[in-house]
């Protein structure tokens, strides 16, 4: 699970995209036109190679509070969609 205290600071997203993975689930967080955009999608492919219909997106305010909300959302997606992430891990 991701920890708010150690997740990248909000300033990072002003210039960079952050990606990572957790046991079958990949995630991507970036500053977008709407705010802080978070995506989750199944392994094994990178964001660009994953079909759009397999990506789940949420948008949060571009702020420290939004960063924390994004971390909570990613963790929640991991917990709630174990069947998706577990299936991709077995492939």
Model confidence over 5-43: pLDDT tens digits? 999 999 999 999 999 999 999 999 999 999 999 999 999
If one counts the domains in the chain, the total is 1
Q: Is 5 among the domain residues?
A: no
What is the secondary structure of the chain as a DSSP string?
Answer: ---TTTSPPGGGGGT--EEEEETTEEEEEEE-SSSEEEEEEESSS-TTTS-GGG-EEEEE-SSHHHHHHHHHHHHHHHHHTHHHHHHHHH-
Q: Is 33 among the domain residues?
A: yes
Q: Is 85 among the domain residues?
A: yes
Supply the pLDDT for residue 86.
Answer: 84
Q: Is 14 among the domain residues?
A: yes
What pTM did the predictor assign? Answer: 0.93
62-91 confidence digits (pLDDT tens): 999 999 999 999 999 999 999 999 876 554
Supply the pLDDT for residue 89.
Answer: 54
Which range of residues forms the domain containing residue 48?
10-90
Q: Is 83 among the domain residues?
A: yes
Q: Is 69 among the domain residues?
A: yes
Q: Is 1 among the domain residues?
A: no
Q: Is 81 among the domain residues?
A: yes
């Amino acid at each position: 699970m991701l920890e708010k205290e150690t997740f990248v600071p909000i300033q990072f997203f002003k210039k960079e995209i952050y990606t990572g993975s957790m046991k079958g689930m990949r995630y991507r967080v970036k500053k977008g036109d709407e705010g802080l955009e978070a995506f989750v999608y199944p392994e094994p492919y990178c964001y660009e190679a994953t079909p759009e219909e397999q990506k789940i997106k949420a948008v949060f305010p571009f702020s420290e509070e939004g960063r924390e909300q994004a971390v909570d959302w990613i963790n929640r997606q991991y917990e709630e969609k174990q069947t998706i992430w577990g299936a991709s891990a077995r492939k």
